[in-house]
């Protein structure tokens, strides 16, 4: 970041506290018609940050536009350069601007706004908190949650969509299009393009310790489709149940159930899944998130990992969802189970949390016993993913652009995670934070005595959207909330947690 660091004396100094009585009230700048008279006394940096953020939001400063140099804008407004520098720094931390050396400070992302109905849409009233947050969520709950408006969305599972590398994607797309022949626009291989399968094999070798032949990689439309295809194939092989972690992902459970698989729960503690309970259940297949268990954030402990592999050696099949494996901050990488047990592990991953869910690109590495059946299921499902996005993603992977993007995300997510931890300490005293070392969310649990569904509903009435822990559990559990931090700014996170704290006080 090339923005100069603000002057500091026991923290950021807001130079706007200095006497301004000798300044004309008409002092201002041609840039955005900023007028000093609009700024409150002692709050110049706050005011300037708000004005710039609003201009980015409403399109007066579109993505790609350049902000004035800090010295120039400070001179026009007749304020200390530290005021402008502090405003630019806050926008940078929120992910809206980026310093680019000689090219100055550039707008790189606009704040996300709730999308209202278009003329072609039929207006739908926002659901009430009681209708949205029920003890037993329906199969359409995630659609309803996404559509429900909220001023501060802390619902987990969404990456920072403002960070999508638009410029890198466009460069890669142009490079790909220059090389494509007319024949390349025909129907592709249902297994995925050879280019992306090679790129995925290289990505997994570098980042997850998995050595795999590209011929073994199956490209799918995200982890959701992977779960559906695997469930379909297992039923064809006579497997009617797939055990799941408890607490675990409601979405995974629903996806597997949609194929006809039963999903008996296996408890999870601070060491990961209880393999003894899994073995006692008699189930032949299990879905796990060993690198970063959802929602607890637990890493599968070494001895449990060995127990699970022994269970698989005895005839079990492991579906490894490598959830959030790349998003780690305070711990070393954890090897994937697939790297140690390729014949008994069906491995799934995607770029939904790394780039954007809208791309709908993921991959499956299947054991030999199921590989051809999965390819056949994929063929009949959709004839294969769209070719052009596959080739663009392959270019990003092979050029190093995706690794650079991941490094940027880690820095940004770490700041947002830290802001959420600090906010929980301040506004939710007595709450326990789980899973802070990695991922895009925190699990926060509370002493008993109330319903976490009621807490989520009360938070929603205050404009904050989040997920109750009980939705992730098939067995009774202590109350908790799963709070996503990746898609919100530190300011929003702090305000959102404060509102949850207010809801909790009134609930008790």
Instruction: Encode pLDDT of 306-350 as tens digits.
Output: 999 999 999 999 999 998 778 888 777 788 999 999 999 999 999
Output the CA–CA distances (angstroms, integers) from residue 141 to 55, 130, 138, 440, in the order listed: 34, 13, 5, 20
Say yes or no: 76 and 194 in one domain. no
Task: For residues 285 and 311, give the distance between their C-alpha atoms in angstroms, rounded to a whole number.
Answer: 10
Residue 200 lies in a domain: yes
Say yes or no: 142 and 239 in one domain. no
- Residue 454 phi/psi, 5-degree rounding, is -65, -40
Final residue in a domain of this structure, among 368, 384, 399: 399
Please state the pTM of the whole predicted model.
0.77
Predicted pLDDT at 27: 58
CATH code for the domain in which residue 355 is found: 3.40.640.10
- The helix or strand, by DSSP H or E, that contains position 280, with its residue range, turns out to be helix 275-281
Residue 395 lies in a domain: yes
Give strand pairing partners of 443: 434, 482
Say yes or no: 339 and 277 in one domain. yes
Say yes or no: 43 and 183 in one domain. no
Contacts of 15 (CB under 8 A, 6+ apart): 7, 44, 45, 79, 80, 82, 83
What tokens does 425 get?
């300490």
Say yes or no: 68 and 172 in one domain. no
Half-sphere exposure of residue 24, counting CA atoms within 13 Å on the CB side?
6
Predicted pLDDT at 116: 46
Residue 1 lies in a domain: no
Say yes or no: 366 and 314 in one domain. yes
Are 267 and 277 in contact by the 8 Å Cβ rule? The answer is: yes
Say yes or no: 351 and 280 in one domain. yes
Residue 371 lies in a domain: yes
Residue 388 lies in a domain: yes
Give the other-Cβ count within 10 Å of 432's Cβ.
13
Residue 6 lies in a domain: no
Residue 414 lies in a domain: yes
Please give the tally of structural domains in the chain: 3
Establish whether the linkage from the previous residue to 295 is cis, with ω within 30° of 0: yes
DSSP-assigned states of every residue in 12-27: B--GGGS--TTS-TT-
Half-sphere exposure of residue 41, counting CA atoms within 13 Å on the CB side?
5
Residue range of the domain that includes 362: 166-399
Final residue in a domain of this structure, among 380, 399, 418: 399
Nearest-Å Rg of the Cα atoms of the chain is 25
Task: For residues 333 and 324, give the distance between their C-alpha atoms in angstroms, rounded to a whole number.
Answer: 11
* Residue stretches of the chain with pLDDT short of 50: 1-26, 114-124
Predicted pLDDT at 17: 41
Final residue in a domain of this structure, among 399, 425, 459: 399
Say yes or no: 101 and 187 in one domain. no
Predicted pLDDT at 351: 94
CATH code for the domain in which residue 69 is found: 1.10.10.10
Say yes or no: 346 and 442 in one domain. no
Say yes or no: 301 and 446 in one domain. no
Say yes or no: 327 and 410 in one domain. no
CATH code for the domain in which residue 149 is found: 3.90.1150.10
Say yes or no: 239 and 297 in one domain. yes
Residue 276 lies in a domain: yes
Q: What region, left, alpha or beta, does residue 490 occupy, with left being phi > 0 and alpha being psi -120 to 50 degrees?
A: alpha
């Amino acid at each position: 970041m090339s923005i100069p660091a603000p002057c500091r004396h026991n923290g950021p100094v807001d130079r706007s506290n200095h006497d301004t009585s000798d300044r004309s009230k008409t002092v201002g700048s041609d840039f955005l018609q900023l007028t000093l008279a609009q700024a409150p006394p002692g709050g110049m940096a706050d005011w300037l940050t708000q004005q710039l953020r609003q201009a980015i939001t409403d399109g007066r400063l579109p993505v790609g536009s350049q902000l004035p140099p800090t010295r120039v804008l400070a001179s026009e407004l007749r304020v200390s350069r530290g005021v402008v520098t502090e405003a630019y720094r806050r926008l940078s931390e929120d992910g809206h601007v980026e310093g680019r050396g000689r090219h100055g400070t550039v707008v790189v992302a606009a704040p996300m706004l709730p999308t209202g109905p278009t003329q072609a849409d039929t207006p739908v009233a926002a659901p009430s908190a009681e209708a949205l947050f029920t003890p037993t969520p329906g199969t359409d709950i995630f659609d309803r949650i996404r559509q429900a408006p909220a001023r501060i969305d802390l619902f987990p599972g969404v990456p920072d969509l403002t960070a999508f590398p638009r410029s890198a994607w466009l460069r890669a797309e142009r490079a790909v299009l220059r090389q494509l022949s007319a024949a390349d626009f025909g129907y592709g291989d249902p297994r995925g393009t050879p280019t992306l399968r090679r790129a995925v094999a290289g990505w997994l070798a570098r980042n997850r310790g998995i050595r795999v032949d590209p011929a073994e990689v199956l490209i799918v439309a995200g982890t959701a489709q992977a779960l559906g295809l695997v469930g379909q194939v297992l039923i064809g092989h006579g497997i009617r149940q797939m055990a799941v972690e408890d607490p675990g992902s409601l979405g995974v459970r629903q996806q597997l159930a949609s194929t006809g698989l039963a999903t008996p729960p296996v408890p999870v503690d601070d060491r990961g899944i209880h393999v003894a309970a899994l073995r006692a259940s008699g189930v032949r297949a299990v879905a796990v998130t060993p690198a970063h268990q959802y929602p607890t954030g637990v890493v599968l402990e070494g001895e449990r990992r060995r127990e699970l592999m022994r269970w698989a050696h005895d005839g079990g099949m492991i579906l490894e969802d490598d959830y959030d494996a790349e998003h780690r901050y305070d711990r070393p990488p954890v090897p994937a189970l697939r790297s140690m047990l390729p014949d008994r592990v069906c491995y799934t991953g995607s770029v939904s949390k790394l780039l954007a869910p809208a791309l709908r690109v993921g991959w499956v590495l299947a054991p030999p016993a199921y590989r051809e059946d999965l390819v056949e299921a994929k063929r009949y499902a959709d004839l294969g993913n769209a070719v052009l996005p596959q080739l663009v993603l392959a270019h990003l992977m092979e050029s190093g652009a995706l690794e650079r993007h991941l490094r940027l995300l880690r820095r940004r997510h770490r700041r947002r995670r830290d802001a959420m931890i600090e906010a929980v300490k301040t506004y939710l005293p007595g709450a326990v934070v789980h899973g802070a070392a990695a991922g895009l969310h925190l699990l926060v649990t509370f002493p008993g005595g109330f319903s976490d569904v009621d807490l989520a509903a009360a938070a929603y009435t205050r404009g904050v959207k989040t997920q109750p822990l009980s939705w992730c559990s098939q067995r009774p559990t202590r109350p908790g909330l799963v709070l996503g931090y990746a898609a919100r700014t530190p300011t929003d996170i702090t305000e959102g947690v404060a509102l949850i704290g207010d809801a909790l006080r009134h609930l008790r």
